[in-house]
Amino acid sequence: QQQVKQSPQSLIVQKGGISIINCAYENTAFDYFPWYQQFPGKGPALLIAIRPDVSEKKEGRFTISFNKSAKQFSLHIMDSQPGDSATYFCAASSGNQGGKLIFGQGTELSVKP
């Protein structure tokens, strides 16, 4: 019930295309859903986050879509660029559990020029 399942494991997208990464969770107590971006040799960095009271959040080319009833959320990267090539992690946490983040398995995104 604590797991967050992420797919796909790897993704190749052409420059200008849309990258879509999906995550699913079981624990209905989760109330915070962030996405992290990690470049090689670096630590993950917070990209965008959403709470379950909204169904979508957009920041620039990055959008989170959230489906509470299906217990799924996804990251959409519009107009994908080679500089977006990185590993992306979804995560979830609950205030009732001390805010500990549970991470998905990660998606390695490669954007081809």
Instruction: Give the shortest CB-92-to-another protein separation in angstroms.
Output: 10
Exactly one of 60, 83, 98, 113 binds another protein (CB under 8 A); that residue is 98
Q: Is 42 in the site for another protein (CB under 8 A)?
A: yes
Q: Is 19 in the site for another protein (CB under 8 A)?
A: no
Q: How big, in percent rounded to 5, are the helix, strand and coil portions of the chain?
A: 5, 55, 40
Which residues, including other chains, have CB under 8 Å from residue 111's CB and lie 6 or more apart? 12, 13, 14, 15, 17, 19, 80, 81, 82, 83, 84, 85
Q: For the beta carbon of residue 91, count every other beta carbon within 10 angstroms.
A: 22
Exactly one of 20, 52, 101, 110 binds another protein (CB under 8 A); that residue is 101
Q: Is 37 in the site for another protein (CB under 8 A)?
A: no
Q: Binding residues for another protein, per CB under 8 A?
A: 2, 6, 9, 32, 34, 36, 41-46, 49, 89, 93, 95, 98-106
